Amino acid sequence: MAEQLEFFPVPSPCRGICQSDERGYCHGCMRSRDERFNWQHFTNTQKQEVLRLCRQRMLRKLRATRPTSTEEGDQPSLF
């Protein structure tokens, strides 16, 4: 795939939390250790791919921590 010309650099997603979870992803930005250490050496296309992966990881983490609904559903009972 040809690399698209970028006018602006892709900013780092770092939020300054910099603590890894049990799977090795940062709690703040959801990047892996290799992604964090090699960020400055990545092309803009590679950085965009890392950001896409981080969004997926964050959504997966949010879905896993979301409380399950009750047996009756989300609608309150009328009785």
Percent of the chain with pLDDT over 90: 63
Q: What is d(CA 48, CA 9) in angstroms, rounded to the nearest whole number?
A: 10
What's the mean pLDDT in 19-42? 94
Statement: residue 69 has pLDDT above 70? no
Q: Worst-scoring range by mean pLDDT, 15-19, 28-32, 49-53, 74-78?
A: 74-78
Question: What does the pLDDT read at residue 41?
Answer: 96
* pTM tops 0.75, yes or no: no
> Could you tell me the two tokens for 7?
């006018």
pLDDT of res. 1: 54
What is the rounded radius of gyration, in angstroms, for the C-alpha atoms of the chain?
18
